[in-house]
Structure 1
Amino acid sequence: MRRRFAIPLIAAALAALWGAGLAFWHWQGGSSLLDRLEAPLVDLRFLVEGPRPTPGGITILAIDDETVQQVGAYPLPRTTMAQLVSSVGRMHPKAVALDILFVDPGRAEGDLALEKALSETRSVLAAAGLFERNAQQALDPLPIASDDLPTAQKLLLPIKSLASVSALGVVNIATDPSGVPRHIPLLVRSDSQIIPSFPLRTVSVATGRDPVLRADEVAIGDVATSTDGGYALALRFYGPAGTILTVSANEVLSGQADEDVFRDRIVVIGATVTGGGDAFPTPFDPVLPGVEVLATAMAHLMAGDGLVRDTRVRLVDGAMAILLPVLLVLLLAWHRGMWGFAIIVVVTAAWIGLTFAAFTRGIWLSATLPLLAALPPALLFGAAELWLDRGRADRLSLQSRTLRRFQPPSLAKRLAEDPAFLLKPVRQKAAVIFIDLSGFTGLSELLPLDETREMLRGFHALVDREAVRHQGIVASFMGDGAMILFGLPDSSPEDACRAVEACVGLCLRTEAWMADLPDAIAARIGFKIGAHYGEIIASRLGGDSHQHITAIGDTVNVASRLMEVAASHDADVALSDDLHRAAGDACSIFQSGVLEGTFPTAIRGRAGSIPIWLWRRNRSLVHSGSGGVRRSPS
């Protein structure tokens, strides 16, 4: 019993350690495998939720194919950029943010014109961090690894003349291993300074409020936005490209733009031109311009509707990574087999369903971490338990087969179906046969032990076969004899006839067996059979450690004493008139020999006498005594 409970508890403890290790690994940022597995499930959640309306207040001014075609150059000349900024500035936006890197000087007149245009409006310019993983790409996908701020090895800044008249923000975007943007780092460390991100600086400039950093959130004015580790903003896409209001820069350059789409709004200028390279795959669109990714982050900071992926959410992920494997292991320990694995499927589906439901509320629970923590231990434990169960089943089967040899097959089957069979004694009609080898005791003094044992095995085998053939059971082997019952485990009207047939069959088989023995042995032994029919008490006898099923009562005693009657009359079988009448005339098996009777016969140890019949095989006719009848083969 202790082992039965100890193994699941140990397995549950190991599963908890495995889950805790994965949770810690995930917390420390060593989770590229988890991120790869989580990414498609996150995308699926976006698709199930579907596109959402944008909160408004942001307009993207796109340098698109039409603009490049009209201007005739890409990147656009800085004089053209200055014209864009000035034109938008006259429409009274809250801020103009340029998602374009001006890291190299251009023509002097263009730089001066752009500087003048930027100085006349609230503007934000893009800077980019170079990170250690790939220092050659300014927009290197940035992993969110821990609570520490991401550290740039170098910053690509606008030229000084432009930087002096505008605010700066880092435009780096953190993607998962498949390239999908997942986070915007709101703060980036470089040397001894901390630079805000492009979206954070833009919203701050637009609202005229400095951001306030709190645990797991950034607040600008009255709007607080949840953040992940290292003040990373989890992106919650609104839809495919163009979901956020987008206007072609060509409309502004040609003077056809509607002033209302820029007034009191944040205007983000960025490239959407085909082949521009600044695009990302998202769940809604295989090519979402980078400027729209940044604009999505700005919308989150203005409305506070980004994904919640903070310390509390990660703690829930970690707790589930520990509890779920323990739960599955204990469920499997409680209910193994196909039902146990079905429970695993149900629990797995329930957790995934919970993550989908939470996602619609803007909460990003990890579907992968708890499942990766739970499924391997559960499957390993389930497989181990099935393997152990198979081994236990094989051992039990072997034990069962071994034990069945100590009980007749029909009794073994009944006990397997009804373990309480004959716990209470049962009175019922039954036929009882006793068979015994005569002269065997003296013979055993002369034979070696091994030969004696082999001789008994052969005799017991033929008795067992004959009993089973006639649907009887050998209740017990008693040295060189046996007791056979007809009526257990269930009585039948055919029991008496089957017993009579078994008597004749035993005679035939025993004589054939004796004929195969050496003459010196066969000449010293014989056999005798007694049979009776009546009421018996069937019950279990024995102590708590060992029991056997048998029958007791006067019927059993009479059947045993009838062997002496058979021997004293030199008959093969002595059977009671009760058995003969119960078998009926339909039982014609006695025609294979001579049946004589009836004879009133005293039974040793019993008062009075009973009528009996004697049966001999292949002998001449003899007259019955005391008015008995005589039968012989017709």
Structure 2
Amino acid sequence: MSRRAFQTMIALILAALWGAGVGIAHMRGETWFLDRVEATMTDLRTVIRGQKPAPETVTIVAIDDEVVRQAATYPLARAELARIIDAIAGLHPKAIGVDILLLDPGTAEGDQALAEALGRSTSILAAAAVFPEGRQRIETNRDDALAGVPSAKQFLLPLKPFSDVAATGVVNVATDRNGTPRLVPMLFKSEDRIEASFPLRVVSVAQGIEPAFEPGRILLGEDVIRTDNGQSLPLTFYGPRGTIRTFSAADLLNGKVTRESIENRVVIIGTTVTGGGDVFPTSFDPVLPGVEVIATAVSHLLNGDGIVRDANIRLIDAGFAVGLPVALVALLAWRRNVIGLIMIVCAILAWLAINVAAFTNGIWLSAAVPMTAAIPPAIIFGAVQLWLGKRRAQHFARQSQLLQQVQAPGLGNWLARNPGFLAEPVRQDAAVLFIDLSGFTGLSETLGPNATRELLNGFYKMVDEEVAVSGGTITSFMGDGAMILFGLPEPDADDALNAATCSVRLCHSTREWLASLPASATSRIGFKMGAHFGTVIASRLGGSRQQITATGDTVNVASRLMEVAARHGAELALSTEILRMAGELSAPYKSGKLIGPLETQIRGRTGSVAVWPWQA
């Protein structure tokens, strides 16, 4: 397995483990730290889904500003509340839920009138649960239907005269960190006592059915209500205040509410008076009355139109928590280019589309859990890949820099831009220049390896500088000599002139370099050069380790011209071809003595060559 494949495999395993950890915590209801993110995403999805009409099975009778104005007192007198209950009962509702805590005694006459009104109707009264930590704690247990219900310190129940004639239910709701009601627990416990929630008690009394509980669901006759951890009912609001049919209690008492609005419906009485304090922020309304929150829960139970989030949905969330980070990491590892980024964006958009579509159709898939599971591994893996990529880039930069030092700079740059350069041999005209030190072999025997290396290093550096200035290319250093080419990577009309200039500059520079050496070395070595112009075959030679060079008769002649220069006691021997190609621009040679043309035999070649020895 390659290093990259191994790194990817480790990243995928870690991403899956992280996602599994987040998913398991979500299934246990322990991701409270994600509440704000989930709340924001839930509100956004609710707005995308939009408002929807509330079923006609629930009606709200509001104790609003008008009824308080007419009664001239708040809280409303018990006798006045009795009148409202009697007026509702006269229109034959299925049940009347009183979302008002009747904890403290009022006047004797008022309490008696209210008790009598409750006794004449099918009524359910609100109770409240007090929690020791100030918040409900819901734990999950998939094997016990009652093990995870919220555990209260105590229950605040209605006064006994009222609870003796009416059923009671706990009115508490579970809010997120933004204060928005998200869940309504269906059961509460305190020590050995179990109390049903107010919405569940209202529906149970209205339908005349005693609820049965199983892990993750409530049975109301043949109706099955799927619940979240702790037998909690998820809420999804229909719209802003008033979406559920609402009548003022003042209109009811004045006979302005028709029988059709109440008959065979569940009626919830609650306060909406300004400043009453019983309001909650929702995605549709920042001050939705608490009575409408309760009415929403009642409507969900009656009509089965609530949003579903239970153990199975949480298991799907856990699957996304594992699958999404693994998919993103795999895509990041697979294609690190625009196509890969597009595929990552498509994967995220596909998940978002599934999430929103499910929410719109009544399934509450978590948005925060997969995001939390996917974002850290993707960011960390991406950052590590960038860091490794940067290291690889630095490594390649160092290699390239080293290549420039080993290979001719012009050729190195050209190869970086044109990888196919000289993949096939190219026939072209070029100027070829050779330089070689004379007597170096004998000198190196006495200098030793270190001193020889230092001497050659100075020579190579001097040659490299002069060739770079003249625009040539050193195709190779050969021991104490060098082959220089003018015409690579691309031929130029001034190749012959550049070669002429370089040869003269090299003569002067080499002479100065020799003069800088110790007298013992200067007296024993010299140099010779040969320059020719003609057709060469430029190609790559070698197998796994290739070298760019030129071959052909032109190269051989240029090399042998160094011998001609030595025979004639000159520093440089030039062919007629290179002088002719330099033309009138061969002025560099006027700085010395140019002799010729001399017809000279070239070793290993038939016929003679016209040669021009040159000496500074």
- Give the Cα–Cα distance (whole angstroms) in 2 for the partners of residues 144 and 153 of structure 1: 14
Partner residue, 1:90: 90
Partner residue, 1:188: 188
* Per-residue deviation, residues 275-325 of structure 1 (Å, max 9, x unmatched): 323221111222111111000111112222111212232122111111111
Structure 2 residue 563 is the aligned partner of structure 1 residue 569: no
CA contact (8 A) 1:348 1:371 kept: no
- Give the Cα–Cα distance (whole angstroms) in 1 for the partners of residues 150 and 453 of structure 2: 88
1:52 alignment partner AA = K
Partner residue, 1:547: 546
2:605 alignment partner AA = R
Aligned ranges 1:172-183 → 2 under 5 Å: 172-183=172-183
Partner residue, 1:287: 287
Partner residue, 2:452: 452
How far 1:30 moved relative to its partner? 1.7
Structure 2 residue 363 is the aligned partner of structure 1 residue 363: yes
2:295 alignment partner AA = A
Partner residue, 1:615: 614
- Give the Cα–Cα distance (whole angstroms) in 2 for the partners of residues 321 and 421 of structure 1: 50
How far 1:346 moved relative to its partner? 5.4
Partner residue, 2:145: none
1:327/1:375 Cα in 2 relative to 1: closer, same or farther (>3 Å)? same
Partner residue, 2:265: 265
CA contact (8 A) 2:137 2:151 kept: no
Aligned ranges 1:181-220 → 2 under 5 Å: 181-213=181-213, 216-220=216-220
CA contact (8 A) 1:336 1:382 kept: no
Partner residue, 1:599: 598
Partner residue, 2:73: 73
Partner residue, 2:20: 20
How far 1:333 moved relative to its partner? 1.8
- Give the Cα–Cα distance (whole angstroms) in 1 for the partners of residues 487 and 14 of structure 2: 56
How far 1:327 moved relative to its partner? 1.5
Structure 2 residue 141 is the aligned partner of structure 1 residue 142: no
- Give the Cα–Cα distance (whole angstroms) in 1 for the partners of residues 77 and 447 of structure 2: 121
1:445/1:191 Cα in 2 relative to 1: closer, same or farther (>3 Å)? closer
Structure 2 residue 230 is the aligned partner of structure 1 residue 236: no
CA contact (8 A) 1:22 1:369 kept: yes
Partner residue, 2:334: 334
1:529 alignment partner AA = M
CA contact (8 A) 2:64 2:274 kept: yes
CA contact (8 A) 1:153 1:190 kept: yes
| 1:512 counterpart SS class | helix
Structure 2 residue 422 is the aligned partner of structure 1 residue 422: yes
Partner residue, 1:324: 324
Partner residue, 1:113: 113
Partner residue, 1:153: 153
- Give the Cα–Cα distance (whole angstroms) in 1 for the partners of residues 183 and 214 of structure 2: 18
Partner residue, 1:627: none
How far 1:469 moved relative to its partner? 1.9
RMSD, aligned α-carbons: 2.3
How far 1:337 moved relative to its partner? 7.3
- Give the Cα–Cα distance (whole angstroms) in 1 for the partners of residues 243 and 18 of structure 2: 43
* Per-residue deviation, residues 396-419 of structure 1 (Å, max 9, x unmatched): 211221122110012112322333
Deviates more, 1:472-481 or 1:105-114: 105-114
2:152 alignment partner AA = A
Deviates more, 1:36-45 or 1:252-261: 252-261
1:79/1:104 Cα in 2 relative to 1: closer, same or farther (>3 Å)? same
CA contact (8 A) 2:29 2:229 kept: no
2:373 alignment partner AA = A
Structure 2 residue 442 is the aligned partner of structure 1 residue 442: yes
* Per-residue deviation, residues 319-362 of structure 1 (Å, max 9, x unmatched): 11111111222222223478866765554454334433322222
1:542 alignment partner AA = G
How far 1:497 moved relative to its partner? 2.5
Partner residue, 2:61: 61
- Give the Cα–Cα distance (whole angstroms) in 2 for the partners of residues 144 and 427 of structure 1: 84
Structure 1, unpaired ranges of 5+: 135-140, 618-634
CA contact (8 A) 2:27 2:311 kept: no
- Give the Cα–Cα distance (whole angstroms) in 2 for the partners of residues 427 and 144 of structure 1: 84
- Give the Cα–Cα distance (whole angstroms) in 2 for the partners of residues 240 and 481 of structure 1: 92
Partner residue, 1:559: 558
- Give the Cα–Cα distance (whole angstroms) in 2 for the partners of residues 560 and 413 of structure 1: 27
How far 1:567 moved relative to its partner? 0.6
CA contact (8 A) 1:143 1:175 kept: no
How far 1:214 moved relative to its partner? 5.4
1:184 alignment partner AA = V
How far 1:192 moved relative to its partner? 3.7
TM-score if structure 2 supplies the norm length?
0.93
- Give the Cα–Cα distance (whole angstroms) in 1 for the partners of residues 424 and 340 of structure 2: 38
How far 1:115 moved relative to its partner? 2.4
CA contact (8 A) 2:136 2:151 kept: no
CA contact (8 A) 2:597 2:612 kept: yes
- Give the Cα–Cα distance (whole angstroms) in 1 for the partners of residues 296 and 136 of structure 2: 17
| 1:585 counterpart SS class | helix
Partner residue, 1:499: 499
Over the matched positions of the two proteins, sequence identity in percent amounts to 52
Aligned ranges 1:378-417 → 2 under 5 Å: 378-417=378-417
| 1:183 counterpart SS class | strand
- Give the Cα–Cα distance (whole angstroms) in 1 for the partners of residues 460 and 190 of structure 2: 96
Partner residue, 1:432: 432
- Give the Cα–Cα distance (whole angstroms) in 2 for the partners of residues 179 and 293 of structure 1: 12
CA contact (8 A) 1:226 1:306 kept: no
How far 1:219 moved relative to its partner? 4.7
Aligned ranges 1:464-475 → 2 under 5 Å: 464-475=464-475
Partner residue, 1:487: 487
CA contact (8 A) 2:425 2:538 kept: yes
Structure 2 residue 580 is the aligned partner of structure 1 residue 581: yes
| 1:433 counterpart SS class | strand
* Per-residue deviation, residues 82-120 of structure 1 (Å, max 9, x unmatched): 221111111111111111222344444333322222222
- Give the Cα–Cα distance (whole angstroms) in 2 for the partners of residues 161 and 65 of structure 1: 28
How far 1:448 moved relative to its partner? 4.7
- Give the Cα–Cα distance (whole angstroms) in 2 for the partners of residues 506 and 409 of structure 1: 19
TM-score if structure 1 supplies the norm length?
0.90
Deviates more, 1:561-570 or 1:212-221: 212-221
CA contact (8 A) 1:351 1:367 kept: no
1:142 alignment partner AA = Q
CA contact (8 A) 1:438 1:528 kept: yes
1:447 alignment partner AA = L
Structure 2 residue 102 is the aligned partner of structure 1 residue 102: yes
Structure 2 residue 523 is the aligned partner of structure 1 residue 523: yes
* Per-residue deviation, residues 596-634 of structure 1 (Å, max 9, x unmatched): 2222211112222222222222xxxxxxxxxxxxxxxxx
- Give the Cα–Cα distance (whole angstroms) in 2 for the partners of residues 116 and 531 of structure 1: 126
Partner residue, 2:250: 250
- Give the Cα–Cα distance (whole angstroms) in 2 for the partners of residues 383 and 326 of structure 1: 16
Deviates more, 1:364-373 or 1:392-401: 392-401
Structure 2, unpaired ranges of 5+: 142-147
CA contact (8 A) 1:268 1:295 kept: yes
1:598 alignment partner AA = P
- Give the Cα–Cα distance (whole angstroms) in 2 for the partners of residues 540 and 48 of structure 1: 65
| 1:59 counterpart SS class | strand
CA contact (8 A) 1:60 1:268 kept: yes
- Give the Cα–Cα distance (whole angstroms) in 2 for the partners of residues 464 and 252 of structure 1: 105
